[in-house]
Amino acid sequence: MTTATSRRERLHTVIFQTDTPAGRRFDQTLLVVILLSLLVTIIDSIQSIHRDYATFLAWIEWGFTLVFAVEYLLRLYCSPRPLKYAFSFYGLVDLLAIVPGVLAIYYSDAQYLLIVRIIRMLRIFRVLKLGTYLRQAHYLLAALQGSKQKIIVFLVSVSTLVTVFGTLMYVIEGPQNGFTSIPKGIYWAIVTLTTVGFGDIVPKTPLGQMVSSVVMIIGYSIIAVPTGIFTAELANAMRGEQLKHDCPVCAKKHHEHGAAFCSRCGNALFAKQNDSA
């Protein structure tokens, strides 16, 4: 084992893993750097600041781009299979964090590339060890899985409601009251049904206000449906009734995960083959 190889391995542990103190410290530092770079991007978008500190902030952004570039090269260097990393999701995101900074030299209108930078924030999840969190919170996912079909029914119903009411309001109110087209009517229906209520487009005719009232009361009531579905599924998942097997004697449907006997009638849940032999 040469020194170069062992150095690469040690670097790999630090950069890619989070279970050593050095690895944890590296990831935490990286998180801070990413947050700072995001902050600079956000602050740079404020006009009064951009006017006064544009050059200064450009230099800082350049610094961040350099740091991320070095980090990217190190990751390529210490990765056992560099190509696999380069084309993995995180590899591409890491590359995307550098490219806009480089492009900004040639094209000053880098405004639209800012959005690419923000994807880096996904790394927060890696640093926060969301894996551990999600393992703890697998109930959340189980609840979402269990309620998938019910939620599709709900979303289709909402889409239909929104299209129907959007068209209805376009016909009732018309362009002179701000409902200039059916898409605008649908936009208004979504704003109203979700109880956001911007107030940029409002019904002005009495009939339009009556239809709006119906939309609002529907929106206010059906918020109970996703909440109810999700809560009931989550409660179900948390109760941990995972073994679905009818007890042959008392027909109890759900049992503890590792149950061998029914907790209600005490009978064996599964016939023992050896006995019958």
Q: Which of residues 21-40 bind a copy of itself (CB under 8 A)?
A: 38
Determine if 170 is a binding residue for a copy of itself (CB under 8 A). yes
Interface pattern 114-143 for a copy of itself (x via CB under 8 A): xx--x--xx-xx--x-x--xx-xx-xx--x
Nearer to a copy of itself, 86 or 218 (CB): 218
Query: Tokens at residue 3, please?
Result: 């020194």
Q: Give burial (CB, 10 Å; 0-12/13-18/19+) of 11.
A: middle
Binders in 220-249 for a copy of itself, by CB under 8 A:
220-221, 223-236, 238-240, 245, 249
Q: Provide, rounded to whole angstroms, the least separation between the CB of residue 103 and a copy of itself.
A: 15
Determine if 175 is a binding residue for a copy of itself (CB under 8 A). yes
Determine if 57 is a binding residue for a copy of itself (CB under 8 A). no
CA distance 267 to 277: 20
Q: Provide, rounded to whole angstroms, the least separation between the CB of residue 218 and a copy of itself.
A: 9
The vertex-192 CA angle with 186 and 198, nearest 5°, equals 100
The vertex-55 CA angle with 50 and 58, nearest 5°, equals 85
Binders in 256-275 for a copy of itself, by CB under 8 A:
256-274
Among 80, 196, 207, 246, binds a copy of itself (CB under 8 A): 196
Beta strands 243-244; 254-255: pairing state: antiparallel
Determine if 45 is a binding residue for a copy of itself (CB under 8 A). yes
Question: Locate tokens 């990217």: which residue?
Answer: 72
Q: Is residue 245 within 8 Å of residue 255, measured between CB atoms?
A: yes
